[in-house]
Amino acid sequence: MLSPVEEIKSRLDIVEFIQGYVRLQKAGANFRANCPFHGEKTPSFFVTPSRQMWHCFGCSKGGDIFQFIMEMEGHDFPEALKLLAARAGIALTREDPRIRSERNRLYDINEEAARIFQQCFSNHTGAKEYIAKRGLNEETVAKFRVGFAPQSWDFLLNALIKKGFTKEDIERAGLAIKNQEKGSWYDRFRSRIMFPIADISGRVIGFGGRIFAQESGGSEAYSAQISEGKSTEGQAKYINTPQTMIYDKSSVLYAFDIAKQDIRIRNQAVLVEGYMDCVMSHQAGVTHTVAVSGTALTPRQLQMLRRLCDTIVCSFDTDAAGESATRRSLALASEFDFERRVAHIHTGKDPADAVRESPALWQVAVKEAKPVVDFYVEKAFAQFDPATASGKKSITDMVLPFVADLFDAIQQDHWTRQLASRLDVSETSIRSELARRPSITEANRGGQGGTPGLRTQTENSQRVEPQYIQGRRELLEEKFLTLLAMVPEEVRERELKEHHIIFRSAEKQNLFALVTASLTSGASTSASVVQDLEMFKFKSEVIGSDIEHVDQEFLICKRDLERECIKEKMQERQEEIAQKEKEGSHAAVNDLLKDMVNLNKILKQLSVS
C-alpha cells in the first residue's frame, strides 16, 4: 500500500503543478524556466518529468513536489502534505497534531468566514440588487465568492465561535478587533460587500470589504447614497484584512490564483486598481487580469508576475491618483524587464464602468494597449500645445523620462527624431535634455542612477533583498564555464571561433582566454586549464551524462551570455554618447551611434538564433 506521500506523487504531475507558479518551456526531455527563488534572466531552473524532480543550477535548490511547495510558499512539511493531499483528492485518514498549526487554523477561519459571507449575500436582497446594478452576473459572483458582512458588531464572531474557533484566533486572522478597555471583541467587517483574497493556491487568506450601507432598521428601502454604494461619513470606502501570519498585502495580487494559468498562456498580465475592476474584467473575458490588494504595486508582486509572463498592461483610474499609480507601476515594471503597455479607455471610464457599458469596449482597450512611450507621446500632444514654449516643455517633461528608460538605442533614436520633428526643435536639444534628465525608473528611486536591472525599492523605501538582486550575470558565467568543461573538444572549437563573451572577473576572463588561445593555436586544451574548468562543475540530476543535452544547453547558455555582454556594451556606449554630447564632440557621437547600430544588429541576431 502506498504511503500518502507516494500516492500524492503518483497523482500529481510535477510539470503541471509547477506550471501554476512558473512559466516552463520545453528543453529536450525536460522543462526549464527562470528560477523563482533567485533573480535571473537566463533560465537555470529545470524540471525533469521522468524523475518528477526539479533543480536550479543557479542557486542549487532542488527536490520533489514537496520541496517545491515548501520553498515556494514557506510551508513546513505537514502544511505541504495537507495542501498537496487536497490537490490530489486524497483524504488524510489520521491527522498529525502538527498539521493543526496556527497557520492552518487561520486558513480554516478565513475559509469558514468566506462561506458565512457568501451565505449572507445570498440571503440579502439589498446586497444582491446593488451587485446586479454594478453589472456582476450570478456566475461571476459565484466564481469570485462575493459575500456580504451584515451590520452587526458580533455576527461573524459568534458564528465562528460556534464552529469551534477562539476569539483570539479570529483576531489573529484579522476578522475581529479587541477592545482593550473592555476586554471584548467585535467584527472588523460590518455592512460591507466582501471580496475574499486568496493565495496562489486558492486558499482564502484575507478579505477586502467595500462599504455598502448602514441598515436602516429593516429590509425595506435604502437611501440614494446607499443604493449607489457610496461611503458613509466617517467610514473608509474599502478596508482590508490587516497583516497576519498568512496575509501579507505586499505579496498578494487579487485573483492571481484564478488568472495565473491564462497569464502564462497569453504571456501577458493585465493589472488594474480595484476588486470590481478585476472581477468585471474577468466577466468580460479578459481572464488574465489581477488587481493590487490595498497597496501600491510592490517588487514582490511584480516578481510573481515575471515568473509567468513578459508583458504587463496597466489600466488604473484616470484621476490624478490613478495617473500617479500608473507611472509608479510602469517605472517599477521597467526594473523587472517587462514589456510595458497601457490600456486606455477613451471615454475616461475605469475598467468596471467600461465593462458595464460594453464588454467589447474593455476588450478592445486591452487588445490595443499601447507601448508606454507611444501612450505618453499621444497623451502629451493631446494635453499640451506643441506650438508654445511652455507646451514644448510640458511635453518633454512628460515623455522624455520614458524615452530615457528605453534600453534599445534604435528606439531612443527613433523617439528623439520624432519629438524633434513634432516639436520643431533640433535633435541636439532633445538629446541634450535626454542626457540630463533621469529616466522614469531613476525618478521612481528618488533620482538615484544606476544600471537598470532587477532592483528597486519597496513601498517603504527599503531595497529588495540582496539575494534577489545580485549574482544573475555571475551565475550565468559560472554556468557557461561549467558547460564548457563538459562539452567535447570539437564543440568548444566550433563554437568559440567566433563569440562576443567578456567575463567581469579577471580570473574567469583569464581562464576563458587560455581556452580560446589553445583553440586558436590548434593545440588541445591543457590539462591544467581543464582542471580549472572542472572547478566550475556543480552537481545536477538534470543534465547528468546526457551529452546531447549538454551540447544543447551549452549553445543556449553561450547565446544568452553573449546577449548580456552585448547589452552591457550598449549601456557603456550610451553613457559615452551622453558624455560626448555634453562635450560637443559630434563626430565622436556619430561614431558611437554607428557602433550602437552594429551592436543592436548583433543583439537581434542572437535573439532569434
The per-residue pLDDT for range 427-466, each reduced to its tens digit, is 888 888 888 777 666 655 554 443 333 333 333 333 333 3
> 293 Cβ partners below 8 Å, 6+ apart?
197, 206, 208, 240, 249, 252, 253, 254
Q: What is the reported pLDDT for 444? A: 59
Q: What is the reported pLDDT for 469? A: 32
Q: Over 90: is that where the pLDDT of 291 sits?
A: yes
Q: Say how far apart CA 109 and CA 246 lie, in whole Å.
A: 11
Select the more confidently predicted residue: 392 or 324. 392
As a whole-number percent, the residues of the chain with pLDDT over 90 amount to 29
Q: Say how far apart CA 89 and CA 467 lie, in whole Å.
A: 36
Q: What is the mean pLDDT of residues 206-219?
A: 68
What Rg value do the Cα atoms of the chain yield, rounded? Answer: 28
pTM of the complete model: 0.64
**Residue 333, helix vs strand vs coil:** helix
Select the more confidently predicted residue: 126 or 329. 126
Q: What is the mean pLDDT of residues 89-103?
A: 64
A 10 A CB-CB count for 450 gives: 9
Q: What is the reported pLDDT for 524? A: 54
Please tell me the least confidently modeled range out of 36-45, 416-425, 583-592: 36-45
Q: What is the reported pLDDT for 381? A: 93
Q: What is the reported pLDDT for 440? A: 64
Q: What is the DSSP string of 247-300?
A: --GGG-EETHHHHHHHHHHHTEEEEESSHHHHHHHHHTT--SEEEE-SS---HH
Select the more confidently predicted residue: 18 or 511. 18
Q: What is the mean pLDDT of residues 104-112?
A: 92
Q: Say how far apart CA 420 and CA 480 lie, in whole Å.
A: 44
Q: How far does Cα 374 stand from its chain's mean position?
A: 23
Q: Using the structure block, give the residue that is written with the C-alpha cell 458588531.
A: 153
Q: Say how far apart CA 531 and CA 522 lie, in whole Å.
A: 19
Q: Over 60: is that where the pLDDT of 1 sits?
A: no
Q: What is the reported pLDDT for 443? A: 59
Q: What is the mean pLDDT of residues 106-121?
A: 95
Asked if 431 and 395 touch (Cβ cutoff 8 Å), the reply is: no
Select the more confidently predicted residue: 479 or 26. 26
pLDDT class of 158 with cuts at 50, 70, 90: very high
340 exposure class (CB count in 10 Å sphere: 0-12, 13-18, 19+): buried
Q: What does the mean pLDDT of the chain come to? A: 79
pLDDT class of 409 with cuts at 50, 70, 90: confident
What are the pLDDT digits (tens) for 472-526?
567 678 778 777 777 777 887 888 878 888 888 777 787 787 777 766 555 555 5
A 10 A CB-CB count for 510 gives: 11
Nearest CA to 35 among 254, 268, 350, 303?
A: 303
Q: What is the mean pLDDT of residues 401-407?
A: 82
Q: How far does Cα 151 stand from its chain's mean position?
A: 37
Q: What is the reported pLDDT for 452? A: 36
β-pair partners for 187: 176
Q: What is the reported pLDDT for 462? A: 32
